[in-house]
Structure 1
Amino acid sequence: MDDLVGPTRRAHRITWVGITAAALLVAASVLIPLWTGWDVAVKGGPPLHGFWDPRFGPGSAPAIAIAVLALVGAAPLAMRLRWGWLLLAAYLTGAAWLAMLALVDGFDGIAAVLDADIEYLPTAREVTDLGATLEEFIERIPRDHPDNWRVHIAGHPAGALVLFVGLVRIGLGSGAAAGWLVLGLAATIPLAVMLTMRRFGAELAARRAAPFLVLGPSAIWMAVSGDALFAAFTAWGLCLLAYATRAASHAATAAWAIGAGLLLGYGVLLSYGLVLMGLLAVAVLVLGRDWRPLPWAVGAALVPVLVFAAAGFAWWEAYPVLVDRYWDGIASRRPASYWIWGDLAALACSAGLVAGASVGLTAARVREWRSWSRPVEVVVVLTLAAAATLLVADLSQMSKAEVERIWLPFVPWLLVGTALLPRAWVRPALAIQLALAITLQHLYFFQW
């Protein structure tokens, strides 16, 4: 019996049930509003924020070629390549996959998205006095303010806008430059997850999960979304925290933990929901069996938050104002009776149907906790921590629709559980992921 997979017959059954359940959930989320005329207040066709627009473009053939080559060789290569070469291959393959899916819409698939009126760049270009912007940031969040912020600016902490102001000021303020930068950083996210797993003694599990971390439908949104940038911040923050728990000296522990804290702390200033990354951070410390990094990481995380507060933007004051705007606007028209499960259907589109199997396989191993090997422990703890984080986000009702983008930072950690897939399922499951990505990108136009 394969220690990672567990009893083979049970693993096959859970994989089949998990993927089927995810598919049925997606089907229900599409068909029920369509058949009943239920207005769930989302642009395009629920559960996704997108418009029906069948098309082919410059990136179509290369994306299909990458998918075919991945089906043939991704899993075997992930097991055979030396670790350094695997990381390089994962980065290059991921970047190519992200780029070719985006280029289905031509060059505008990368260059135009971040230039949209609701995005950060147009506002970032208008900022001439950053200090004054931070001081007035909170008062401009409400919808009834005569000069209220654009949707994405108002819906995120000030750190997101400041980040894009920084890009503008170093000469990367065009849609193309910012788009390629986001894509390049998004392609590093699988590496952060794999390095975290390996740091805890789960290299084999990292290798098995690698194809699913690198290739999948989340690439549709990762390539062109500010949330992918936020995902990179937090993924590397968790990775550095993992290194802090395994440092050889107190000085090294402090250094790794401070780096982790700065990234995770700034992550909270990028998206309000990223405060939930605290659950995954605790999971990392539990796996590391070392709480020495905690005070260093917490102290460092407070630095960017307090610096912004001193400059005029206090996170804890802004969040209630954002909640009021959210419920005064679209949230009040989006029925919780749909979105409490429709969000999970959107997640199944973004993370892929294999996410159902990932969660199911890890949940099935919980009762065996006394006999877990180290790799199994790493996989189960990280995957279930991500699932718990998403459940909290869902039940909070602060995420109703658009979660295929908003929840991108949690998706890679949810897919860690693909390491538990039976070997016979690896290629079919990867085929499902790739086919879903290509189908969605070619049939729907997504604003981000």
Structure 2
Amino acid sequence: MCVVAAAMVVGWQLKHDSVAIFLPFPPLVASWLPHVGPGTVFAPVVAAVCVLYGPTFATRARWPVLLAAAWGMSVAWTTSLALVDGFHTGIAGRLTTYPEYLHDVPLVGDISAMLRDFTGHILVDQPRHWTVHVGAHPPGAFLVFLGLDRIGLSGGAAAGMFCVLVGASACVAVAVTLRALSGETLARTVLPFGVLFPGAVWVGVSADGLFAAVLAWGLALFVVGATNRGVWAAVPALCGGMLLGYTLYLSYGLVLGGLLAVAAVVATRRWWPTLFGVLGAGLVVAAFTAAGFWWFTGFELTKTLYAGSVARTRPYSYFVWANIAALLFALGPATVAGLRRLAVTRRALGWGAGLLVAAALVAVLAADVSGLSKAEVERIWLPFAVWMVVACGSLPRAQHRGWLIAQVVLALLVNHLVLTVW
């Protein structure tokens, strides 16, 4: 945790020296504001139930029941944390501000035309340009919120709860993947840590929590297909590939999710399902391309947009290591301890699970070194953080409740002492 303290001290010194790092409370995008809300009552209760009964329940419950309960408790944990800020500030208003997706939803009449002309409105020097989050991402994320609006689920409350419901399922997808790759014992062991993930502070509510779940379910379906026999195994592999392909159109940075997909292929050692996975991803890419959006054009324009944004004054020399400090707030002390133990005892998780953790670490390091991630990574790297939590499976079982308490305390402190933007 020394890196967190150092990031705080150096960050405040940079602010004192008038360096425009645009962080009210470095290294997080948050403001110091001790506060309480409805979630102050609910979050500790949810956490107490998970800590007291979660590890035992995870070892004894029938698998389908366990997955349903884990999703329900993850939703409760994420929602209660968001409600510490109140319903409007914590949920309903998160995605309605100027930089967010819902701001531009009323501007779109013809979705086909939007896709054809999407890249023409990325740069802010255009007469009509997208708001920050819409323009800085491929149109896949925007399509999700447009779709919600078209089916009658308009407004911030519906969009916020949709992100919570989907994002909270990431821990279930990780468990499904682990069961297929490394066995049910490890999956059951890791699941309580996935439920009480401190990054839930940013899952509720940010689109990146949704991105994490889409990537996780894509991997889960692909691995299920790759580890099963018979012709029907091609179906989940194909569907998983389609979800993985769609992640490319949720965020440009999720191209690094390909490292997790490669790790899954290597871990399963069965190559024919990979063809169906590639086919599924290819179908999605072909569909977006045929609709008029070329991924590489959008990426190049977004790099130009990023170069002229607040990132321009954020010093690389600080953020290249302060980013890691910000990520630690989402990972929590248990994950750090698990990663440390895994580095010493490399066989603690098994081949497949260890590869996924390693792939997530490499993805984060690549994103960090690229310089295209300066701050805000406590939410941006959620799709990789949920896989690092797997390292908690290497912790001694007798210590699990203690580490779960540490995760809970961190999340509660963050949500009550600072006001996060997401």
Short-chain TM bin: over 0.9
3-state SS of 1:114 partner: coil
CA distance in 1, matches of 2:244, 2:266: 17
* 2:80 corresponding residue in structure 1: 100
* SS of equivalent residue, structure 1 residue 113: coil
Task: Kindly state the Cα deviation for residue 35 of structure 1 after the two structures are TM-superposed.
Answer: 4.3
Report if aligned partners of 1:359, 1:387 keep a CA contact under 8 Å in 2.
no
1:204-257 superposed Cα distances (whole Å, 9 cap, x missing partner): 1111111111103211111211111111111100001101112221x3232122
One-letter amino acid matched to 1:348? L
Letter in 1 for 2:362: A
Q: What is the match of residue 130 of structure 2?
A: 149
TM-fit CA distance, 1:62: 1.0
State how far apart, in whole Å, the 1-side matches of 2:28 and 2:407 are: 17
Alpha-carbon distance in 1 for matches of 2:207, 2:127: 26
**Match of 2:31, SS?**
strand
* Cα separation, 1, equivalents of 2:307 and 2:85: 34
Give the aligned CA root-mean-square deviation in angstroms.
1.5
Whether 1:90 aligns to 2:70 is yes
Is the CA contact 1:200–1:287 (under 8 Å) kept in the aligned structure 2? yes
Partners of 1:256 and 1:48 in 2: how far apart? 38
Equivalent runs, 1:322-333 vs 2, <5 Å? 322-333=302-313
Matched with 1:404 is 378
Deviation at 1:154, TM superposition (A): 1.1
- Cα distance in 2 between the residues matched to 1:174 and 1:90: 28
Query: What residue ranges of structure 1 are gaps of 5+ in the alignment?
Result: 1-22, 367-371
Q: Secondary structure at the match of 1:51?
A: strand
Instruction: Name the aligned partner's letter for residue 196 of structure 1.
Output: T
Q: Is the contact between residue 177 and residue 224 of structure 2 (CA under 8 Å) also seen in structure 1?
A: yes
Tell me which residue corresponds to 1:352.
332
Shift of 1:362: 2.1
- The alignment's TM-score, normalised by the length of structure 1, stands at 0.90
Q: Secondary structure at the match of 2:9?
A: helix
Gaps of 5+ in 2: none
* 8 Å Cα contact 1:244/1:293 also seen in 2: yes
Question: Does the aligned pair in 1 maintain the 2:212–2:386 contact within 8 Å?
Answer: no
Matches within 5 A, 1:259-408: 259-366=239-346, 372=347, 376-408=350-382
Deviation at 1:40, TM superposition (A): 5.5
Match of residue 48, structure 1, among 28, 52, 55:
28
Superposition map of 1:61-80 within 5 A: 61-80=41-60
Q: Residues 118 and 151 of structure 1 are in contact (CA less than 8 Å); yes or no, is this contact kept in structure 2?
A: yes
Shift of 1:435: 0.4
Deviation per residue, 1:54-88 (Å, 9 max, x gap): 11111111111222233322222222222222212
State the shift of 1:432 in Å: 1.3
More contact order relative to length (CA 8 Å, sep ≥ 6) = 1
Partners of 2:254 and 2:117 lie apart in 1 by: 23
Give the secondary structure class of the aligned counterpart of 1:262.
helix
State the match for 1:233 in structure 2.
214
SS in 2 for 1:54: coil
2: CA distance, partners of 1:156 / 1:212: 30
Deviation at 1:192, TM superposition (A): 0.5
Equivalenced residues, count: 419
Give, in whole Å, the separation in 2 of the partners of 1:244 and 1:76: 29
The answer (yes or no) to whether the contact 2:182–2:350 under 8 Å persists in 1 is no
Greater displacement, 138-147 / 175-184? 138-147
Q: Does 1:216 align with 2:190?
A: no
Candidates 78, 90, 111, aligned match of 1:130 = 111
Q: Which moved more, 1:202-211 or 1:96-105?
A: 202-211
CA–CA separation in structure 2 for the residues paired with 1:220 and 1:142: 31
SS for the counterpart of 2:350 is helix
Q: Distance in 1 between matches of 2:69 and 2:322?
A: 35
In 2, the alpha carbon distance for the partners of 1:45 and 1:75 equals: 35
1:11 maps to what in 2? none
Distance in 1 of aligned mates of 2:315 and 2:27: 12
Deviates more, 1:435-444 or 1:27-36: 27-36
Residues of 2 paired with 1:395 and 1:359: CA distance?
20
Question: 1 CA distance for matches of 2:33 and 2:221?
Answer: 41
| AA of the residue aligned to 1:427 | R
Q: Where does residue 428 of structure 1 map in the other structure?
A: 402
Q: Which residue of 2 aligns with 1:440?
A: 414
CA, structure 1 residues 436+40, in 2 after alignment: closer, same or farther (shift >3 Å)? farther
The answer (yes or no) to whether the contact 1:78–1:208 under 8 Å persists in 2 is yes
Report if the CA contact (8 A) 1:202-1:378 is conserved. Answer: no
Is structure 2 residue 157 aligned with structure 1 residue 176? Answer: yes
**Cα deviation per residue 1:348-399 (whole Å; 9 max; x = unaligned)?**
0012122322222222234xxxxx58x5223311111111111111111111
Task: Answer yes or no: is the 8 Å Cα contact 2:167–2:211 preserved in 1.
Answer: no
Give the Cα–Cα distance (whole angstroms) in 1 for the partners of residues 120 and 333 of structure 2.
Answer: 41
The match for 2:7 among 18, 29, 33 is: 29
Secondary structure of residue in 1 paired with 2:95: helix
Separation of aligned partners in 1, 2:234 and 2:187 = 26
Match of 1:248 among 216, 220, 229: 229
